Structure 1
Amino acid sequence: MNYEIMIVDNLPIIVDGYINLLSKTDFQQNKPNFIKSHNCQDAYNQIFLSLKLQVNINLALLDTSLPPYKDFNINNGVDLALLIREKFTDCKIIIITMESEPLTVDRIIKKIKPEGLFSKDEITSESFPSIFKKIISGNIYQSKTVIESQRELFKKNINWDIYDNDILVLLSQGVKTINLTSYIPLSMSAIEKRKANIKDQLLEGKGSDKDLITKAERIGLL
């Protein structure tokens, strides 16, 4: 029986490196089969091809920064992970990121609830196979950088939900408030109320969106 593993990274050499490491892993008599992709469009097509062929993806290893598939609003590895969660409910998801900002990490955890989450620069050829074994055995793994970023949020007494995180992150990416409803399933009035609450916490209610982003960056949230 095959153990189906999807690996998505924009660099083919990185994908091949993961495959070399995982090929040496004991899958308890299951044979690993690797589904390789380097961008969101190809990964999207591979997901739906697997569904058509009734192939169950058992594990997905996804980088967050990927060339987007704008036609279906799949902009990064997080969007791909959401799609995989929807289509393959038992799939274990490992997210690899170069971003360690507390809000970005918290957003990934709350949106995806990945079985594995770590910074790309923390992976070594020695540590990765053992981490992978823990995850396929049913454990949750978060790297030191991820744990520290969550502690930073706790120390700042920030306890927003995923929509609050989305609002602040999208604003920092240059998305205008009037366009946020295209990214977040809330009404404009609900978004405005949430943004006002964020400003209350960070700016005591006073300041522009630019001031808000500047403050969030200054205290290490972004």
Structure 2
Amino acid sequence: MNKLKNLTVLVVDDHPFTSDAYINLISKEKDENSFKFVKETNCETAFNSIQFMLKKGKKLDMALLDINLPPYEKGRILSGSDLAVLIREKFPKCKIIMLTMHTEPLLLNKVIKTINPEGFISKNDIDFTTFPNIFFKIKNGENYFSPTINKSIQALVGKTLNWDEYDTQIILLLEKGIQTKDIPNYIDISLSSVEKRKASIKRQLAEQKITDNELITLCKKLKLI
């Protein structure tokens, strides 16, 4: 019989009832893992929990973070987004799911550019049935942006992103495993142009350095390819 794999999940929401609902819905689903939940309600206690895990050499597998949280000004952690940036730095393998009621494209885009979460969910898009399905998809390696998030981001991307058919072809070729240096063999464009376009795309979509594979994943999330 396979031994259960223990996964630690940090859940941070300033409404305890909401956190309890997430935890109960996840716990009710049969899975090959057992879950240890760490529940916090603000940035300060969440920050302290993260520091405790680091001090004890513990791992953090997944994080469910509301964007709007009571801030921890002393630690300069003012939102769930700031917590996510800290988690990305300290637990790079942790899968981050951001949850929000916000629909403002610029705010949502900022979260994507700074964090590139595995999941980004509008609370208006989930219910007791859909949430656990989405959670386990992300846990098993899929990426998921909910419809409201995608709609808001697509509206912004259409207005601001400098994107054309060459960019689409470059990303699709990278997805197929074609190396950057070989892309000019497939489309009528020079290597220097390919490199400039790829760098421009990365700069527009992410504030941190990302690999080609991360770029492909992000383009898929944003439905650019």
Do the structures match in fold with TM over 0.5? yes
Q: What SS is found at the alignment partner of 1:52?
A: helix
**How far did 1:24 drift?**
1.7
- Counterpart-to-counterpart distance in 2, 1:157 and 1:57: 35
- Counterpart-to-counterpart distance in 1, 2:82 and 2:203: 15
For the Cα contact (< 8 Å) 2:63–2:97, is it kept in 1?
yes
- Counterpart-to-counterpart distance in 2, 1:161 and 1:69: 34
- Counterpart-to-counterpart distance in 1, 2:143 and 2:73: 31
* Mapping of residues 26-175 of structure 1, within 5 Å: 26-28=30-32, 30-158=33-161
Q: RMSD in angstroms over aligned alpha carbons? A: 2.2
**How far did 1:155 drift?**
2.5
**How far did 1:161 drift?**
9.2
**How far did 1:26 drift?**
3.4
For the Cα contact (< 8 Å) 1:3–1:27, is it kept in 2?
no
Identify if the C-alpha distance between structure 1 residues 90 and 163 changes in structure 2 by more than 3 Å, giving closer, same or farther.
same
**Which letter maps to 1:50?**
M
| Structure 2 unaligned regions, length at least 5 | 163-199, 206-225
* Mapping of residues 187-206 of structure 1, within 5 Å: none
**Which letter maps to 2:19?**
V
For the Cα contact (< 8 Å) 1:111–1:162, is it kept in 2?
no
**How far did 1:90 drift?**
0.3
For the Cα contact (< 8 Å) 1:106–1:150, is it kept in 2?
yes
For the Cα contact (< 8 Å) 1:81–1:112, is it kept in 2?
yes
For the Cα contact (< 8 Å) 1:116–1:142, is it kept in 2?
yes
- Counterpart-to-counterpart distance in 1, 2:124 and 2:145: 14
Per-residue CA deviations over 1:35-74 (Å, capped at 9, x if unaligned) read 0000000000000111122210100000000000000110
**Which letter maps to 2:21?**
G
Give the match for residue 193 of structure 2: none
**Which letter maps to 2:29?**
T
**How far did 1:133 drift?**
1.2
- Counterpart-to-counterpart distance in 2, 1:48 and 1:157: 38
- Counterpart-to-counterpart distance in 2, 1:7 and 1:17: 11
- Counterpart-to-counterpart distance in 1, 2:61 and 2:113: 21
**How far did 1:122 drift?**
1.4
Give the total of aligned pairs.
Answer: 165
Q: What SS is found at the alignment partner of 1:148?
A: helix
> Is it true that 1:25 corresponds to 2:29 in the alignment?
yes
Q: What SS is found at the alignment partner of 1:80?
A: helix
* Identity of matched residues, %: 44
Give the match for residue 202 of structure 1: none
**Which letter maps to 2:68?**
S
**Which letter maps to 1:15?**
S
Q: What SS is found at the alignment partner of 2:28?
A: coil
For the Cα contact (< 8 Å) 1:102–1:153, is it kept in 2?
yes
**Which letter maps to 2:17?**
I
